[in-house]
């Protein structure tokens, strides 16, 4: 059954989906750091005889420094504990590194480009579009990051091309604008599909846990059912035998339970079973294993408990049940 968008469970799924997006972002965009520096290096080499030579060294140094900062961010993320890899902790920092790196690339490529050479302009725009295309795959987990990276890389050169009177420059600018429109549409569809996929995955995990828990829990009392009790009892027995620990078992049965059902109805009998289970949960220790075997029969396993301690616990349970219910004047 799908979760309601207003339900607390839906809020939990939304946070899990954001966390999944963050993990995907760090996994997909690692190579983008090297691609950014590599693309700038190749463009600088090709533009050596065409563009502004004075820009090359500062541009590459700035990109390398920004890349080192990003690599340190990746290192810190993967070294952190899984419970600390939250969107609130990492999204903002990643945004800063993305904006800085993309801005350095876009502005540097624009400054490197020759204002008098059409070949230099075409070459610069070709590499800028290539970097923008790689951003689609690297940052697809976050559409906003993809659009920001594409805009920062393309905008400086594209705006200049629009201001130029030449036909070639205008055509290049229009081509870039058409590519940007395609990117906006493609990233929206990709982001929606990815979000739906991640949401469905988390919903299926929740439903699986619910179904698994229901298969192991007695619906009436909330205790372990017979199957779950046997599985955990086997594990507890193996553990205590392996470590030489004592293990005691208690069998509980409600006296005259059939009479309660016959006299007061099954609904009253169900309330009695529920009350017994509630007392068991409240009285037993966290490490104790309790389950409903069927009907009015219950069982308890006490690991690491000597027989005289088990007797004391059994007496404690008996007194708790005496306080729990009484048969008086036809009422249970």
Please give the average pLDDT of every successive group of 10 residues along the chain, which has 332 residues: 51 84 93 93 91 90 96 95 91 96 95 91 93 90 93 94 90 91 88 88 83 79 87 90 90 79 77 84 86 86 89 85 55 43
Q: What is the C-alpha to C-alpha distance for residues 267 and 123, in angstroms, rounded to an integer?
A: 81
| CA distances, 280 to each of 148, 259, 276, 283 (Å) | 58, 22, 6, 5
Helices (H), the chain: 8-28, 30-46, 53-79, 87-112, 118-138, 143-163, 167-216, 226-243, 257-264, 266-283, 307-324
- Tell me, rounded to whole angstroms, the distance of Cα 331 from its chain centroid: 51
Q: What is residue 212's three-state secondary structure?
A: helix
Which pLDDT score is estimated for 265? 79
What's the confidence (pLDDT) of residue 287?
85
Query: What are 116's two structure tokens?
Result: 């008098």
All domains in the chain, ordered by first residue: 8-211 (no CATH), 226-324 (3.30.70.270)
Residue 98: what pLDDT? Answer: 96
pLDDT at 217: 83
Distance in angstroms (rounded) separating the CA atoms of residues 131 and 134: 5
Q: pLDDT for 117-148, tens place per residue?
A: 899 999 999 999 999 999 988 998 999 999 99
pLDDT of amino acid 172: 92
pTM attached to this predicted model: 0.68
Distance CA 158, CA 172 (A): 8
Quick one: pLDDT at residue 273?
84
For residue 289, list its beta bridge partners: 301
């Amino acid at each position: 059954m799908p979760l309601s968008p207003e339900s607390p469970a839906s809020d939990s799924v939304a946070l899990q989906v954001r966390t999944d997006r963050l993990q995907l972002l760090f996994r997909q965009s690692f190579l983008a750091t090297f691609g950014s520096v590599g693309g700038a290096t190749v463009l600088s080499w090709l533009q050596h005889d065409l563009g502004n030579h004075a820009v090359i060294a500062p541009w590459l140094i700035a990109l390398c420094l920004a890349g080192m900062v990003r690599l340190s961010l990746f290192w810190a993320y993967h070294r952190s504990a899984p419970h600390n890899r939250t969107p609130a902790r990492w999204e903002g920092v990643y945004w800063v590194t993305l904006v800085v790196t993309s801005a350095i690339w876009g502005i540097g490529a624009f400054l490197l480009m020759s204002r008098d050479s059409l070949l230099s302009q075409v070459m610069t725009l070709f590499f800028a579009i290539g970097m923008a295309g790689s951003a689609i795959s690297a940052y697809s987990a976050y559409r906003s990051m993809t659009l920001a990276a594409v805009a920062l890389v393309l905008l400086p050169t594209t705006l200049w091309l629009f201001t130029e009177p030449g036909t070639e420059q205008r055509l290049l600018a229009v081509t870039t604008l058409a590519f940007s429109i395609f990117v906006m549409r493609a990233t929206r569809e990709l982001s929606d599909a990815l979000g739906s996929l991640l949401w469905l995955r988390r919903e299926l995990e929740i439903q699986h846990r619910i179904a698994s828990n229901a298969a192991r829990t007695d619906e009436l009392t909330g205790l372990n059912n017979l199957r779950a009790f046997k599985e955990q009892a086997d594990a507890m027995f193996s553990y205590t035998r392996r470590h030489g620990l004592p293990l005691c078992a208690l069998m509980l049965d409600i006296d005259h339970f059939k009479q309660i059902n016959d006299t007061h109805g099954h609904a009253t009998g169900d309330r009695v079973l529920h009350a017994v289970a509630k007392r068991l949960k409240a009285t037993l220790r966290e490490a104790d294993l309790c389950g409903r075997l069927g009907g009015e029969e219950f069982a308890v396993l006490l690991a690491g408990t000597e027989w005289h301690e088990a007797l004391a616990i059994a007496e404690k349970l008996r007194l708790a049940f005496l306080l729990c219910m009484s048969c008086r004047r036809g009422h249970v």
